[in-house]
Amino acid sequence: MKRCSIIFHSVCGNNYLIAGAFQEALQEEGFDARLYNVKDEDLHIWSNKLESANDFYEEINNLPTANYETLVKSDLVILGSPTYFGNVSAEMKRFMDESSVYFYDGTLSGKYFGCFTSCSQIEGGGTLCLQSMIHYAQHMGMIHVPLGMQVQHIDPYQPPAGIMHHSGKESSIRPSSQLGSAVVYYSRLFAKKMLLV
């Protein structure tokens, strides 16, 4: 069974919900799909400032934290990050940067890769955040599986690079069933690419 590690950073819970949708869809496709968060020492601060950050605070904190063995043991890596100023969060950037120990020896070469993000508005830089994660994966030798334009018949707001959710100013707009259908579609693409179907 192919192992998929869904490694994400979530403050207000939207990326947690998307990660859970990926886990369910990938398990349906025959993957051993596991959820991991990245280290966030400030999550408790955000939970006191934003109401939406309280909704899934306990669930996120109870997940195992990703480490670099998580990457090595995976056949498929899916990263998810909030979009901050057209880039990944500091917590996701730290996780990616610290995995540079595998850059020169090519340990992650040949592993499949996908990504998702949650951003406050449609033009809020979400595609740039996805590109940042893809840029990282390609430098590590991973094989990016794009979502492609074919998903437009399901959700016309999805970019070809990966899944993007628009959460609104307070990050309180939760992922829709339409976005869930796009996640299922993306999961089938991974299964097809990795010859599981």
Using CA atoms, how far residue 96 sits from 56, 70, 71, 72, 163, in Å, is 24, 12, 10, 13, 19
What torsion do the CA atoms of 4, 152, 175, 3 make, to the nearest 10 degrees? Answer: 0
CATH fit for domain 3-193, picks 3.40.50.360, 3.30.70.20, 3.40.640.10, 3.40.50.300:
3.40.50.360
How do residues 92-124 score in pLDDT, each as one tens digit? Answer: 999 999 999 999 999 999 999 999 999 987 777
The model's confidence at residue 40, banded by pLDDT at 50, 70 and 90, is confident
Q: What is the pLDDT of residue 138?
A: 97
Average pLDDT of the residues in 82-100: 95
The model's confidence at residue 46, banded by pLDDT at 50, 70 and 90, is low
The residue ranges of every structural domain in the chain are 3-193
